Amino acid sequence: MKQPTILDVAARAGVSKSLVSLVMTDPSRVGEANRKAVLEAAKDLGYRPNAVARSLVQRRTGVIGIVLSDLHNPFFADVADGIEAAASERGYRAMLSSGFLDPKRERSAITTMLELRVDGLIIMGSMMKVGRIEGVATALPVTLVGRHTRSKRLDSVCTDDAAGAREAVAHLAELGHTRIAHIHAGSAAGSPRRRRGYEKEMIKRGLVDRIRVFRGDFTESGGAKAMIEILNSGDMPTAVFAPNDAAALGAMEVIDDAGLDIPGDISLIGYDDLTLSGLPRISLTTVGQPRTDLGREAAQLVLERLDEGREDARHVVVPPSLVIRSTTGPPPGDADAQPSEDPQ
Amino acid sequence: MKQPTILDVAARAGVSKSLVSLVMTDPSRVGEANRKAVLEAAKDLGYRPNAVARSLVQRRTGVIGIVLSDLHNPFFADVADGIEAAASERGYRAMLSSGFLDPKRERSAITTMLELRVDGLIIMGSMMKVGRIEGVATALPVTLVGRHTRSKRLDSVCTDDAAGAREAVAHLAELGHTRIAHIHAGSAAGSPRRRRGYEKEMIKRGLVDRIRVFRGDFTESGGAKAMIEILNSGDMPTAVFAPNDAAALGAMEVIDDAGLDIPGDISLIGYDDLTLSGLPRISLTTVGQPRTDLGREAAQLVLERLDEGREDARHVVVPPSLVIRSTTGPPPGDADAQPSEDPQ
DNA sequence: CTGAAAGCGCTTACAG
DNA sequence: CTGAAAGCGCTTACAG
């Protein structure tokens, strides 16, 4: 089980260990005969460089750490694809860890990454407060994905969640909806802005009295629970704006099970435009985000600090885009279409 | 940007570096006063232990590496949950990397894990040949998830794919189907056995002439492509057994778009029982696997080698279970129900 | 309970 | 092009 080291290779090839190191690093700088001998010895022994030792002396690991809040949300998989693509183009490797939708476990995942001395860190859909994350940004480049911030110490990339939410609400309002409820995901990344966008657009449309906000989260079950509450609230909306597609799917399940028609009885909008949401049977109206691009951009931000010496914080915001499918339509009645009424 | 080391802490606390190390390792063995001084100095400096250095001397990293073939498949997220749970209970941390459904990139991900000197490796849904993976199993404990093997050098945990496939086909046959096609996913983990199970059950039922196999993969788009081929084959089956739920979803999309009814015109079965597959609008008949348990078991196998000195290979096979939902029903005609006929 | 020494497996200048 | 020496940041025996 003991692995061969550079010394074993050197002994077998009959050269010094420095020469072996040189061959491993830059074979072209070594004479033909010695190079061959070293390479052959390494192969015979099944030598595999010890990145731990290398990292210690180089003070860099070549690894970009990714901490995502939920491994189950396909949204992050696409972002991770983008990160990995950009990182590997520049000679870095990506390594993932999950925060399991829990700020404490997320914090622990981040700590592990820091102790492992990853060169840069990308945190997606964080459940933590930005202030707490800023504390680690002194040690290495950190980029937040999906969370808005104006921090001077770390970078961020996200879409304009408020704008996306407003587009969603505007779409519903233009279809004639006034009783539009919103499921939010607490302080999870992106949710506060989406909620604010919902509220602002409702106010702008003169629907301030119709604002109804229910607590859910970014998961299917969270969306389902919130939808059950909505159905039991005795104040049935004609449309629901969910905080993301996963939650919308949970809400959809509850609505379907209740025997209600979408969008006949109730319209539904999500956020993220998961591949899944485009399936004919789901056909969810949603707000799309350029997932892979978000990932590429996030990696780029880290690499700029790592390899180009950038020091000032950058915050990239890209526009979201409404994707209209089959879960939104006019409300059941039309008399409801006038704004600013008593909620009953 | 330079991080404080144990020496900085020692200097600030006015003690030797060994003492600092001791405090970090086992504070209870150090006197009250010194312990406090060290801890305070560490806090003031924002000291964070360098796991790279620690790993180098301890010759262990405390990390279990997970290489999964596809970050987009929610199946793996659940397995990873199980791994992480079992690993953290025993003081290990889990770290993920994707193989991007490509044997070469998978190999590269594995190599990175080895160079990083993870203590154990769990490979899920591998696209590689077992023989090639065995080569690395001399250096550290390796467990394969979802791939059958009798290797003497590494462990494996999976469900009985052949049995699951046979159950699926039996279910269709008992509904009266004879023209049952199968989409397979090449040599990807689990697929060959599922294909063989399909073929065996078809033969057992006297349907050897009705065997139709189409090449797809374990993704939605792979299932969709195969389904298009099936529709264009001029030999429409009354039922399709997909290699997994993701592929079944792709097939479902194509069938829906073609204006055909499921299960009225064609029955559909998947494999995995993703959460998603239970949604009312999907309601996919499928073969379930205990995902989290698979993960826990996989971690357990690695930990047994790591901490309990087990040397002989263990191969755990758990039974799958058919989950009957709404995508399977009797075939359109009933005359077809007799076995062993000319395929036209 | 505490300190000095050696070493984990590499790379990095630095001489030859 | 090649070799000896120092050191990355820790832990591990080993004396006191």
Instruction: Tell me whether domains B61-160+290-320 and B161-288 share a fold.
Output: yes
What are the pLDDT digits (tens) for B209-227?
999 999 999 999 999 999 9
Please check the confidence at residue A342 and state whether its pLDDT lies above 60: no
Q: How many CA atoms lie within 13 A of A64 on its CB side?
A: 34
* CATH code linked to domain B61-160+290-320: 3.40.50.2300
CATH topology (fold) of A161-288: Rossmann fold (3.40.50)
Average pLDDT of the segment spanning B167-181: 98
Cross-chain Cβ contact B51/A100 below 8 Å: no
Q: Which of A46, A56, A115 sits opposite B49 (nearest CB)?
A: A115
Q: Please answer whether residues A83 and A302 qualify as being in contact, where contact means their C-beta atoms are separated by less than 8 angstroms.
A: no
Cross-chain Cβ contact A98/B95 below 8 Å: no
What CA–CA distance (Å, rounded) separates A312 from A153? 8
What CA–CA distance (Å, rounded) separates A94 from A120? 10
Please check the confidence at residue A339 and state whether its pLDDT lies above 70: no
Predicted local distance difference test score (pLDDT) of residue B3: 86
Please check the confidence at residue B337 and state whether its pLDDT lies above 60: no
Confidence bin at B338 (pLDDT 50/70/90): very low
Which of A256, A279, A283, A306 to mutate to probe the B interface, most B CBs <10 Å?
Answer: A279
% of chain A beyond a pLDDT of 90: 85
Predicted local distance difference test score (pLDDT) of residue B343: 43
Residues present in chain A in total: 344
Please check the confidence at residue B119 and state whether its pLDDT lies above 70: yes
What are the pLDDT digits (tens) for A20-29?
998 888 888 8
What are the pLDDT digits (tens) for A37-91?
899 999 999 999 999 999 999 999 999 999 999 999 999 999 999 999 999 999 9
- Classify residue A145 by its DSSP letter: E
DSSP string, A210-242: G-EEEE--SSHHHHHHHHHHHHHTT---SEEE-
Q: Where are the domains of chain A?
A: 6-49, 61-160+290-320, 161-288
Residue A82 falls in which region: left (phi positive, over 0), alpha (psi -120 to 50) or beta: alpha
Chain B nearest CA to A128, separation (Å): 19
Predicted local distance difference test score (pLDDT) of residue A156: 98
Cross-chain Cβ contact A138/B1 below 8 Å: yes
Q: Please answer whether residues B70 and B99 qualify as being in contact, where contact means their C-beta atoms are separated by less than 8 angstroms.
A: yes
Q: Please answer whether residues A170 and A201 qualify as being in contact, where contact means their C-beta atoms are separated by less than 8 angstroms.
A: yes
Q: Please answer whether residues A247 and A220 qualify as being in contact, where contact means their C-beta atoms are separated by less than 8 angstroms.
A: yes
Q: Name the pairing type of β-strands B155-159 and B180-184.
A: unpaired
* Inter-chain Cβ pairs, chain A and chain B, closer than 8 A: 120
What are the counts of helices (DSSP H) followed by strands (DSSP E) for chain A? 12, 12
% of chain A beyond a pLDDT of 70: 97
What are the pLDDT digits (tens) for B47-84?
999 999 999 999 999 999 999 999 999 999 999 999 99
**Mean pLDDT value across chain A:** 93
Predicted local distance difference test score (pLDDT) of residue B104: 95
Average pLDDT of the segment spanning A253-262: 97
Which of B70, B115, B119 to mutate to probe the A interface, most A CBs <10 Å?
Answer: B115
Strand D proximity: list residues 105-144 of A with CB under 7 Å: none
Please check the confidence at residue A10 and state whether its pLDDT lies above 70: yes
Predicted local distance difference test score (pLDDT) of residue B334: 54
Element (H, E) at B247: helix B245-257
Q: Please answer whether residues A54 and A21 qualify as being in contact, where contact means their C-beta atoms are separated by less than 8 angstroms.
A: no
What is Dmax (Cα atoms) for chain B?
91
Quick one: tokens of A80? 């991770």
What CA–CA distance (Å, rounded) separates A218 from A244? 6
Return the CA Rg of chain A. Answer: 26
Is residue B335 packed enough to be buried (19+ CB in 10 Å), middle (13-18) or exposed (0-12)?
exposed
* Chain centroid, CA A222 distance in Å: 18
* Chain centroid, CA B231 distance in Å: 30
What CA–CA distance (Å, rounded) separates A279 from A257? 19
Q: Name the pairing type of β-strands A286-288 and A321-323.
A: antiparallel
Confidence bin at A1 (pLDDT 50/70/90): low
> Which residue in A140, A145, A169 sits closest to A157, CA to CA?
A145
* Chain centroid, CA A54 distance in Å: 31
Closest nucleotide relative to residue A60's CA, C1' based: D8
Average pLDDT of the segment spanning B248-263: 97
Please check the confidence at residue A344 and state whether its pLDDT lies above 80: no
Question: What separation in angstroms does the CA of A167 have from each of A88, A201, A250, B178, B338?
Answer: 36, 8, 22, 51, 57
What CA–CA distance (Å, rounded) separates A117 from A60? 7
Predicted local distance difference test score (pLDDT) of residue A334: 54
Cross-chain Cβ contact A97/B95 below 8 Å: yes
Q: How many CA atoms lie within 13 A of B223 on its CB side?
A: 23
Q: Directed axis angle between helix B17-25 and helix B6-13, to 10°?
A: 110
Confidence bin at B25 (pLDDT 50/70/90): confident
What are the pLDDT digits (tens) for A98-142?
999 999 999 999 999 999 999 999 999 999 999 999 988 989 999
**Mean pLDDT value across chain B:** 93
Predicted local distance difference test score (pLDDT) of residue A337: 45
Q: Please answer whether residues A269 and A287 qualify as being in contact, where contact means their C-beta atoms are separated by less than 8 angstroms.
A: yes
Write down the pTM of the prediction.
Answer: 0.93
Predicted local distance difference test score (pLDDT) of residue B136: 87
Does the nearest atom of strand D lie within 7 Å of A55's Cβ? no
Predicted local distance difference test score (pLDDT) of residue A14: 87
Predicted local distance difference test score (pLDDT) of residue B210: 97
What are the pLDDT digits (tens) for B289-324?
999 999 999 999 999 999 999 999 999 999 999 999
* CATH code linked to domain B6-49: 1.10.260
Quick one: tokens of A228? 């059950």
For D2, which residue's CA is nearest its C1'?
Answer: A19
Helix residue ranges per DSSP H, chain A: 6-13, 17-25, 32-45, 51-58, 74-89, 103-115, 130-134, 161-174, 191-204, 220-232, 245-257, 291-308
Closest nucleotide relative to residue A59's CA, C1' based: D8
> Which residue in B125, B124, B245 sits closest to B183, CA to CA?
B245
Q: Using CA coordinates, name the residue in chain A closest to B57.
A: A53
Quick one: tokens of B231? 């529709």
- Residues in chain A with CB shorter than 8 Å from the CB of B253 are 279-281
Confidence bin at B336 (pLDDT 50/70/90): very low
Q: Which of A55, A93, A279 sits opposite B249 (nearest CB)?
A: A279
Quick one: tokens of A207? 């629907």
Does the nearest atom of strand D lie within 7 Å of B6's Cβ? yes
Please check the confidence at residue A16 and state whether its pLDDT lies above 90: no
List the A180-184 sheet strands across, edge first.
A212-215, A180-184, A239-241, A267-269
Q: Is A98 helix (H, G, I), strand (E, B) or coil?
A: strand
Please check the confidence at residue B85 and state whether its pLDDT lies above 50: yes
Neighbours of B235 (CB within 10 A): 12
- Residues in chain B with CB shorter than 8 Å from the CB of A98 are 80, 84, 96
